[in-house]
Amino acid sequence: MSEKESLLKFPCQFAIKAMGKTDSEPDLVAVEIVRRHIVDIKEGAITMRSSKDGNYTAVTILIEASSRQQLDAIYQDLSAHPDILMAL
């Protein structure tokens, strides 16, 4: 799907979500990866939530996405990292 066919209108607010095992600190890994692509992550844009038993941590990072290519690059980097089990 090309950017003209995308349902998103850029720039836009977009929530990046990632999850990993708590002991591998997926929140720090995800923030580091997203910062490679987004220099300015606003205060309060990062939220974390632990699983019921505390084995997994989910992180959500609200960003200002500038293009579909930027989002694709972020998700490729997140998915390629061994400490990130899932990226949405």
The DSSP annotation for 2-18 comes to -TTT-SS-SSEEEEEEE
Provide the number of structural domains found in the chain: 1
Q: Is residue 59 packed enough to be buried (19+ CB in 10 Å), middle (13-18) or exposed (0-12)?
A: buried
Domain membership of residue 51 (yes or no) is: yes
Does residue 5 lie within any of the structural domains? no
pLDDT of residue 1: 52
Q: Assess if residue 24 is contained within a domain.
A: yes
User: Rounded to whole angstroms, how far apart are CA atoms 60 and 5?
Assistant: 26
Q: Which two tokens stand for residue 75?
A: 């998700």
pLDDT in the model for residue 5: 62
The domain that contains 57 carries what CATH number? 3.30.70.260
Q: How far, in Å, CA of 12 to CA of 37, rounded? A: 15
Q: Are 30 and 18 in contact (CB under 8 A)?
A: yes
Q: Which residues of the chain have pLDDT under 70?
A: 1-6
> Could you give the maximum distance between any two Cα atoms of the chain, in Å?
43
Pairing of strands 46-50, 86-87: unpaired
Q: In the prediction, which pLDDT does 7 show?
A: 84
State the residue range of the domain holding 38.
Answer: 12-87
Give the per-residue pLDDT at 2. 54
Instruction: Output the pTM of the full model.
Output: 0.89
User: Is residue 2, in this structure, part of any structural domain at all?
Assistant: no
